[in-house]
Amino acid sequence: MTSMNIGVINDFKTKLRGTLLQPSDTGYDEARQIWNAMIDRRPGLIVRCRGTSDVRVAVRFAREHDIPVAVRGGGHNIAGNALCDDGMVIDLSGMRAVHVDREGKKAFVQGGATLGDFDHEAQSHGLATPLGINSTTGVGGLTLGGGFGWLSRKYGLTVDNLLSADIVTADGDLLRARAEQCSDLFWAIRGGGGNFGVATMFEFRLHEVGPEVTTGLIVFPFSQAKQVLTRYRDLVNGLSDDVSLWAVLRQAPPLPFLPPEVHGKEVVVIAFFSLLPLDAVNTELDAVRGFGQACGEHVGATPYVAWQQAFDPLLAPGSRNYWKSHNLDRLADEAIDALIRFVGELPTPECEIFLGHIGGQANRLPPEATAYPHRNVIYAMNVHTRWTDPADDDKCISWARAFFAATAPYAAGSVYINFLTQEEGDRIAEAYGGNYERLRQIKAKYDPRNLFRQNQNIMPA
């Protein structure tokens, strides 16, 4: 990149409505910050796109000059795939518009929007679609990998609610992918990540949600963890799609509804979510309360947008993060024992292990219906190792890897593509299972030279 003729760069700049940043420019260092502070990459060019035309110009320029490309949506990917060294970043963070068609119950969402942008607009009409649990995550990367959250048991994955997407392909063409048009591409982008092009616009189906939902946390002492998790599993096994129960094991944050002596102590947190009003879910709430003697609870009617932001303070950008994840189709006694053992040895107070509860509507499609194949998963179990001092890198990463190894025999043998770290390229085939070969064929059709390879890469067949 450094040897590139200045005239060529200037000519490229004139074709953009957005801005082009190079390493010597003001704002460059800020523009290469992403959620995971472990990632420190120095792109040669950062193209801050203002619209689809900028994306097309950037893709053509990269292709013509054989420049490696990374695409940035919300910048949350744990592997840091929003950035590359030396090459070009196509940065969509200036493309965050959300348009809601209230009568048609649809949303048109630009490729760089965050979940918070989406919920803000859709909820002003009492509408929503399944997204993730942290409002600063990008709609782009989350959707292209599958996407699950509080609404998934009721309404499926994010990709199950995707109606179409505008994709800028490797040769700079703009295609609309939907069930009736470019159907192979539409299948591939519902789980296949950013491998097939840049999504500049997504069209989603919306559902009536809230504006108030029933949510909250019920917190149990760690000494009761075995009983709580066993009863949690038993309840989950017979639960209706109207309720989602996530379990989080960590040290208690200083939440006002917890007694001060619990703050900083290991706890089991059950996060409760339902679209139904409080009085319609009393039976399920009482069942959760019966898991043990809770040390505190805070449950009630909550605005949906507030719940979508409830975990943001624990997930703020700027820390070092390392994840290891397994899909589970059941919660084995041995997995519960390993959870308890490892949470008893957390390497830093910010670390946690969570069981993201899926199932329900998310599991009613066959695995080959979308590129995302995991239609048997009840829990996505993720180790969120989190710290600030680089001196803790080895300690934290070793802990996560040891937990991962200890629980591997009790896992489903698959993983969610969006939870893979940068060194887990050997798990990509596992993440796509029986859909992998079809994805390779479609990659060969739309991106035979693998321009879009700064991702969990699917090699063209």
Ligand X SMILES: Cc1cc2nc3c(=O)[nH]c(=O)nc-3n(C[C@H](O)[C@H](O)[C@H](O)COP(=O)(O)OP(=O)(O)OC[C@H]3O[C@@H](n4cnc5c(N)ncnc54)[C@H](O)[C@@H]3O)c2cc1C
Stretch that binds ligand X, among 140-148, 245-253, 260-268, 424-432 (CB under 6 A): 140-148
Tell me if 267 contacts ligand X by CB under 6 A: no
Torsion-angle region of residue 25: left (phi > 0), alpha (psi -120 to 50) or beta?
beta
Q: Tokens 């009409």 — which residue? A: 125
**DSSP bridge partners of 357:** 379
Tell me if 194 contacts ligand X by CB under 6 A: yes
Distances (CA, A) of 154 to 130, 134, 148, 248, 399: 9, 19, 11, 21, 35
Neighbours of 36 (CB within 10 A): 24
Question: How many residues in total does the chain contain?
Answer: 461
Tokens of 417: 């593509």
Stretch that binds ligand X, among 14-22, 137-145, 329-337, 436-444 (CB under 6 A): 137-145
Residue (142 or 269) nearer to ligand X, CB:
142
Tell me if 164 contacts ligand X by CB under 6 A: no
Which of 21, 38, 92, 252 touches ligand X by CB under 6 A? 92
Tokens of 231: 């009863």
Residue (77 or 407) nearer to ligand X, CB:
77
Report, in Å, the least distance between residue 133 CB and ligand X: 4
Phi/psi for 404 (5° steps) reads -60, -45
Which of 18, 44, 74, 360 touches ligand X by CB under 6 A? 74
Residue (114 or 435) nearer to ligand X, CB:
114
Binding residues with ligand X: total (CB under 6 A): 34
DSSP string, 287-313: HHHTTS--SEEEEEEEEHHHHHTTTGG
398: Cβ contacts below 8 Å, ≥ 6 apart: none
Radius of gyration of the chain (CA): 22
Tell me if 77 contacts ligand X by CB under 6 A: yes
**For residue 265, which of 226, 299, 227, 296 has the smallest C-alpha distance?**
296
Residue (92 or 185) nearer to ligand X, CB:
92
Tell me if 96 contacts ligand X by CB under 6 A: no
Which of 129, 137, 161, 414 touches ligand X by CB under 6 A? 137
Which amino acid, 247? Answer: A
Binding mask 20-49 toward ligand X (x if CB under 6 A, else -) reads ---------------x--------------
219 vs 273: CA distance, rounded Å: 15
Report, in Å, the least distance between residue 40 CB and ligand X: 15
Tell me if 100 contacts ligand X by CB under 6 A: no
Interaction residues for ligand X, span 198-227 (CB under 6 A): 198-199
What residues make contact with ligand X under the rule CB under 6 A? 35, 70-78, 81-82, 92, 111, 132-134, 137-138, 140-142, 144-145, 147-149, 193-194, 198-199, 315, 418, 455
